[in-house]
A and B are shown apart, each in its own frame.
Chain A
C-alpha cells in the first residue's frame, strides 16, 4: 500500500478537525474526498468490531471504520448527526465514522508536537502528533496506520 501524502515539513498543512466524544482529532485535508452524513451500513461477516460495514458511494463499495472503536474508545452509536469522512488511503477509499466535523485548520508543520507519552499504546499507534491551538489539543491521525495496524498491505481484514 502506498503511503498517505506527506506534506513538506516547512509548508502549511490544511487539516480537517473532527470530534470523537470530548476529544478533537484531525486528518490531512488532501486525503479527504468527501464528507457525508451517516447512512446505514451493511455489516460484513466476520469483520472486526470497528468495521461498521460497507456503504455505497456513487457506485463504489467502501468500508466505514468506527474511528472511536478503532482508537480503543467506546464504540459509536451512529445517529443521523454522525458524519462519515471519506478518505483516500493509498489505493483504497475508506469512510471514517466520527461524531462531527468541527473545523478546518491551517497549521505550520513546525507546530505539530510529538504525541505525549501518556496516551494509550493503541491510540498512540494512530497518532502522528498533537497540535495546540487556542487552548485546544488536536491529535493528528495517521491514516495509513489506521488501516495497516493489523496486517500490512491487506486492508482491514486478512
Chain B
C-alpha cells in the first residue's frame, strides 16, 4: 500500500472514531445531559472530519460537513436554541455524514437529493443562506477561525492531538490544524504549509538552532546550509548573540543560531528533508512565506494571534477556574509540553490519552496515544498460535505424566508454571480481540431513529453497559440480529402513540438496550415498554400457519416462544419495517450460530424483553469431556444443567423405543448420544450410562446418555468446515491434551435429531451414507 492510501485509511479509521464521538455527543444532548463541552466535542468531531476530507479532496464530504458545522457553531455560540427538533435534525445530519464518509471510503452513490435537502434544512436552521464551502478553503479555515473570535475553542477542551506539540513538527495529521492548543509553536507551520492551500508559495523562513548533540554527532551546520542553498536563493543571518565570553564558553556547547530566508520553488518537505538527520538535535522551524504576505506581516500575524490566544485564555480562566492562570502564562512564554499536565484535567473527553501524557510528558516526537492499530489478521494469527501453544502444553504435560515423572520433580513444577503462563497468554491475547459493544449500540440508535420515523412512533432509546467487551467477531455478527430485534420492538412491540396515551403511558415509547457481563458470558437485553405479546393472537396465527395443533396445551412461555418458529410473522399488514418473512427464527439461528441463546419474556401491558446470552469469545469454550462408544466428545458446559446416574426406578419406557427419566417429578426424554451420532447401532443401557441433563435453546430439557465423564476443560474451538464440512450433531472440533481431535457436540441438533425431527436425522444419515 502506498503512503497516501495508508494515510487515507488512517483518516477513515479516525473518521469512524469521530463519528462515534459525534453520535455519542448528540445522544447526550438529546437526553439533555449535554453541556457546552458536549456540543464542542461534536463540533470538533465534525470539524476534524471536514479537515481531513479537505486534505483528500473529498468535496462532497467537505461541503456537507461545513454546513453541518455551521449549524453546530450556531448551537455552540447560543445563537441557535437547542430544541428537540434541532437535535433530531442534527442526528439525521449525523447519519448522512456517516453515510458520506462510508461512501467516500467504499465508493458507491450517495443520494444527492437527500444530502442537499438535509444541507438546506441545516442552513435554514442556522439561519444562513446555504453556504457553499469550497473544498480547498477547508484546510485554511482554522487560520480564519483564529481571527474571528472562535479562539475559545482552543482555550479549553484540548483533545489529545494538542499534546502533540512536543516535538514532531512534521506531523501530518489531517486535523492538526484544529487542535492548535499551542498554535504558538508548530501548528501554524502546518496550517500555512498545507499544500498550496492559500496564496502561492514564495519560499520559507527557517530558524535553525543546533543543539550540542548535533555537533556531538559530527554534523556540520555549514553543510546543511549549503544543501539548503541549492534549493533556491538564500539569505542567511547568523545570530551570535548567545555566544558567551571566552572564559565561560563550553567548547562543546552550541551557541549559534541561524535565520534563513529561502526563495524557492521546492515544497516544505524538501526543505525539511535536508534537516532530516538532525531534526532531533536542533530546534527547527520552517515557515512558508506566501505571496502577498511579506515577512513582516507574517510575523505580525503570528504575534497578533498569539496575543489573542493569550487574552482569550485569560478570559477562559475566569470561566473555568480549574485551569491555573499560570498554565497560560507558561504556554505563551515557553510552549513546551509541560503545561499539558496542568491542562489535562479539563480534557475529560479523552481522559486515558491525557493520563498517558502525564506519565510520559516529554517523549519528543511520539504520539501520546494509548492505542495502536493492528491488522486483524495478525491478531487472529496470534490467537491461532496461542491456541496451538495451549494444546502443545497440555500434550507435553500428558507425556510427562505418562513417562512416570514424579509430580514434585523439577520438570513437573516447570510444566505447572508453563501452564499458568500459557493460560495467561491466552487470556491476554483473547483480550486483544475484545471490543466494547458501544459501536453496535450506536448503530442501533440510528435504526431506532429511522424506524421511528417510518412508523410515526415517538421512541427513545436507552442504552446501558456500552463498555461491555465482547469478541470482535461476536460484535460484528450481532448487528443484524439486533437491528431486527430493535425493529420488531418498535414496529410490533410499541403501541401507536394514541393507544399509549389511552393506556395511560407516556406518548413516547422507550426501547432499552442493556449489555452486561454475567458468569463468563455477555447478556444483551432488548426491551420495550409496549403492549407485550398478544398471546391469543400469536396462538391463533400459529394454529393458522400449522405451527401448532388447534388443541395444543401451551404455557405462556411456550406461546411466547412461538414467535421464534420459522415462518411466523405477526404483523397484520406487512410493513416496510418488519414482517418481510425473515422473522425471529432467523434471529434465533444467527444467535445460535454464535454459540448464544435468546430468550423472551413478556408482560401484557408492560412490554417485552428479549435477552441474548453470548459467549465472550468464539475461540475457546468450556466443555465437559465425556466418552461415548469409545469416542471422546465435548459437551458445551453452557448447555449442561446437571449430571446424574439414572436409577432403574426412574427410567421408564415410552412407546416403542423412547425412554424418559423421572427427575424431581417431571419426565425428561433420554437421548443416547452414541446412537444419534451413529457411533453404535443399539441404544445404550441407561443404567450403565451417565445422564447429562442439558437445556436447549428453546428451554426444553433433555438427558443425554454418555458412557462416562472424564472432566471439565477449556477447549480451543477448531473448525471442521475448513477442511471437511458441516457434520450433523457436531458444532466444531477441538484438540485434546493427547493431541487427538475430539468433536464438540451441537446439543440442540442432537436433541432435535432424536426427537421431533427424527426424520431429518434419518435423512441426513442416509445422505451421508450414500
Contacts and interface: CB of A to CB of B under 8 A. Distances in A.
A44 interface: yes
B631 A60 contact: no
B730 A158 contact: no
B726 A63 contact: no
Nearest to A57: B723
A53 B679 CA distance: 12
B428 to A, nearest CB: 19
A108 interface: no
A155 B733 CA distance: 16
Contacts of B718: 59-61
B730 A61 contact: no
B677 interface: yes
A26 to B, nearest CB: 22
Interface residues of A, number: 29
Given A43-B631, A45-B679, A46-B677, A56 B741 contact: yes
Interface in B742-768: 742-743, 764-765, 767-768
B768 A48 contact: yes
A81 B631 CA distance: 23
Interface residues of B, number: 36
B654 interface: no
Nearest to A43: B631
Contact of A61 (B631, B729, B735): B735
Contact of A40 (B723, B728, B740): B740
B723 A46 contact: no
Pick from B387, B388, B632, B725 the residue with the most CB of A within 10 Å. B725
A61 B722 contact: yes
B388 A46 contact: no
B727 A62 contact: no
Contact of B735 (A59, A157, A158): A59
B384 A56 contact: no
B677 A155 contact: no
B598 interface: no
A56 B734 CA distance: 9
Given A55-B741, A59-B387, A150-B770, A157 B726 contact: yes
A42 B631 contact: yes
A42 B736 CA distance: 11
A154 interface: yes
B277 interface: no
A152 interface: no
Contacts of A156: 724-725
B768 A60 contact: no
Contacts of A58: 388
B317 to A, nearest CB: 61
A58 B722 CA distance: 14
B758 to A, nearest CB: 14
19 contacts: A40-B740, A42-B631, A44-B730, A44-B743, A46-B677, A48-B768, A54-B724, A54-B741, A56-B740, A60-B723, A61-B719, A61-B720, A61-B722, A61-B723, A63-B724, A92-B723, A150-B770, A155-B723, A157-B727
Interface of B: 384, 387-388, 391, 631-632, 676-679, 718-730, 733, 735, 739-743, 764-765, 767-770
Ordered nearest first, which 8 A-B pairs have the shortest CB separation?
A: A45-B677, A155-B725, A59-B388, A42-B741, A62-B723, A46-B768, A157-B725, A61-B733
